[in-house]
Structure 1
Amino acid sequence: MAYKDWMIRTRQIGACSCDYGCPCEFNAPPTRLPCEGVMAMEITEGHFEDIRLDGLRVAGAYRWPGPVHEGNGTWWSVVDRRASEEQVQALFTILGGQEQEPTTGFAIYASTIANEPDPVFADIEFELDLDNRRGRFRVENVLEANVVPIRNPVTGEEHHISIRPHRGFEFREAEMASATFWSKGALDQQHDGRFAALSFVSYGPHGLIAEESFPVRAS
């Protein structure tokens, strides 16, 4: 099947209520229920046909009552208020799993969503320091996440570790970290010291686009 031409190269922060490592990456059930969290991405370069998406940010809060694949999830979108009407439509098309293979990441997650509260259009603060396993994002009065390195419980030293799924659909490699985050409004949650993943990922109609190298290796 032919799809419209699009590509986004992103910097991402994701956090969820599970223990470090996130069982989803190992085909295992959540360590806590409901499965919920927040995420944000900054598009460093991207387009949907002739619509440029460079520099735009998106974020969201989510919840599934059980394992993701069982469905009945809730996804609450936050879209960069700087986006034009045509850019917004392009972003919703991509993130909603349209114009792409049904086995790609956005399409898989979209198939598990049953509830979508009205989106928020707002300024999205976003910072990511992949080398130092730190990051943050914030949407005023909606959601916030602060990410720091995992600490060794005995020595207090930073613990650096990454995940490299050979056949994953979310990313090819991500640095693990510790997140404190919340969201309120259409989806209320609050978590401290939970799973976080920091990554640079590129996507297109056929899924992940292989990059020449990951920007950092765990030291």
Structure 2
Amino acid sequence: MSATETPAPATIPKWHVEGDWFDTCRCDVPCPCTFAQSPTYGECDGVLAWHVREGHYGAVPLAGLNVLMLGSFVGNVWAEHSDSYAALFFDERADEAQREALQMIFGGQAGSWPAELVSMAAFEVRGIDTAPIEFEVAEDLGTWRVSIPGKVDAAGEALTGPTTPEGARVQSTNMPGSETGPGQVVTWGRATANQVEAFGFEWSRAGQSSKHITFDWSGPDET
């Protein structure tokens, strides 16, 4: 079966993954894309990273594994957009069955929210690789970071200001353009690092938008 073919439903087992996602991008704070609006500067590029806290794909355990995506597009990614490109990195710690499961889920072939996002965004994939993905999220959601040595260094810190209570987080719900799907909580932040050089993507900037969002996805037959 080719990478572009979608398996018949009978071949997709019950699956569920939940965990942490964050990005660092070109937009000003707060990123308009999460409000289903056009990016601040008309186009956007950034790092998107997922950490699976709990999950399985059939009998294949996925807890603790990471996925990272580089992406760029012009226009409103939720409406009319063009020149959308992506590259994907899967956790090198995953064995063959786990890599296949991650590719099925995050590539959209296994259904649920990733399938909807892949259909809407229509990214042209520049490359797929495995890599040592280091992912950290503070328990209090004060900071988050992901890195692939020599290729990606992205980090953010929770947004604060003169009227923010100590330890409190600036959060939103019911966002019209939540990158991880409906019903998730967005914690707003600012990028402290955003450096990329891989698959034709190259930038180095900090100080722009970053945000953490939980994700919780299940296959059609999962209960």
TM-score range for the pair, normalised by the shorter chain length: 0.7 to 0.9
Aligned-pair Cα RMSD in Å = 2.6
Are residue 152 (structure 1) and residue 161 (structure 2) matched? yes
Please state how far the C-alpha of 1:174 moved relative to its aligned partner: 1.7
- Which residue of structure 2 lines up, in the alignment, with residue 200 of structure 1? 214
Q: 1:153 to 1:184 in 2, by over 3 A?
A: farther
Please state how far the C-alpha of 1:56 moved relative to its aligned partner: 0.9
Q: TM-score, normalised by structure 2?
A: 0.80
Are residue 109 (structure 1) and residue 120 (structure 2) matched? no
Please state how far the C-alpha of 1:108 moved relative to its aligned partner: 2.9
- Which residue of structure 2 lines up, in the alignment, with residue 176 of structure 1? 188
Please state how far the C-alpha of 1:126 moved relative to its aligned partner: 1.1
Query: Secondary structure of 1:89's match?
Result: helix
Query: Secondary structure of 2:207's match?
Result: strand
Please state how far the C-alpha of 1:88 moved relative to its aligned partner: 1.0
- Which residue of structure 2 lines up, in the alignment, with residue 120 of structure 1? 129
Q: TM-score, normalised by structure 1?
A: 0.81
Percent same amino acid at aligned positions? 25
Please state how far the C-alpha of 1:162 moved relative to its aligned partner: 0.7
Q: 1:47 to 1:132 in 2, by over 3 A?
A: closer
Please state how far the C-alpha of 1:8 moved relative to its aligned partner: 0.5
Cα offsets for 1:57-111 (capped at 9, x unmatched): 111211012221324411111111111112111111111111214xx2x123312
Q: 1:144 to 1:152 in 2, by over 3 A?
A: same
Alpha-carbon separation, structure 2, partners of 1:204 and 1:170: 13
Q: What is the identity, as a one-letter code, of the residue corresponding to 2:186?
A: A
Unaligned segments of structure 1, at least 5 residues: 210-219
Query: Secondary structure of 1:119's match?
Result: strand
Alpha-carbon separation, structure 1, partners of 2:129 and 2:198: 10
Alpha-carbon separation, structure 2, partners of 1:44 and 1:81: 17
Are residue 54 (structure 1) and residue 67 (structure 2) matched? no
Q: What is the identity, as a one-letter code, of the residue corresponding to 1:81?
A: E
- Which residue of structure 1 lines up, in the alignment, with residue 15 of structure 2? 6
CA contact (8 A) 1:74 1:114 kept: yes
Cα offsets for 1:157-193 (capped at 9, x unmatched): 9884111116652651021111131211211122211
Alpha-carbon separation, structure 1, partners of 2:148 and 2:187: 23
Cα offsets for 1:122-176 (capped at 9, x unmatched): 1111111152521111101111112123343899x98841111166526510211
CA contact (8 A) 2:47 2:69 kept: yes
Q: Which runs of 4+ in 1 moved over 6 A?
A: none
Alpha-carbon separation, structure 1, partners of 2:175 and 2:36: 13
- Which residue of structure 1 lines up, in the alignment, with residue 3 of structure 2? none
Q: 1:153 to 1:62 in 2, by over 3 A?
A: farther
- Which residue of structure 1 lines up, in the alignment, with residue 25 of structure 2? 16
Query: Secondary structure of 1:138's match?
Result: strand
For residues 16-165 of structure 1, what are the structure 2 equivalents within 5 Å?
16-69=25-78, 70-101=81-112, 104=113, 106-111=114-119, 112-152=121-161, 160-165=169-174
Alpha-carbon separation, structure 2, partners of 1:182 and 1:122: 16
Alpha-carbon separation, structure 2, partners of 1:170 and 1:183: 29
Q: What is the identity, as a one-letter code, of the residue corresponding to 1:195?
A: S
